[in-house]
Amino acid sequence: MAGLLEAFVLLLGIIDPLASLGAFLSLTSKMDDKEKLRIAQKAVLVAAAVFFIFAIGGQSILTMLGVDIEAFRAAGGIILILLGIQMGLGISFPKEKEEVSEVAVVIGTPMICGPATITTAIILTGDAGIATTAIAGGMVLIITLGVLVLSKFLTKIVGRGGLQIMSTMMGIITMAWGIQYLLTGLNGFNN
Q: What does the pLDDT look like over 142-163, one tens digit per residue?
A: 999 998 998 878 777 877 677 6
Q: What pLDDT is recorded for position 97?
A: 46
Quickly list DSSP for 96-157.
SSSHHHHHHHHIIIIIIS-HHHHHHHHHHHHHH-HHHHHHHHHHHHHHHHHHHHTHHHHHHH
Mean pLDDT value of segment 62-91 = 78
Q: Does residue 125 or residue 88 have the better pLDDT?
A: 125
Mean pLDDT, the chain, rounded, equals 82
Measured CA to CA in angstroms, residue 176 lies from 53, 82, 172, 181, 190 at distances of 27, 11, 6, 9, 21
Task: Kindly give the interhelix angle for 33-65 and 151-190, rounded to the nearest 10 degrees.
Answer: 20
* The predicted structure's pLDDT at residue 98: 45
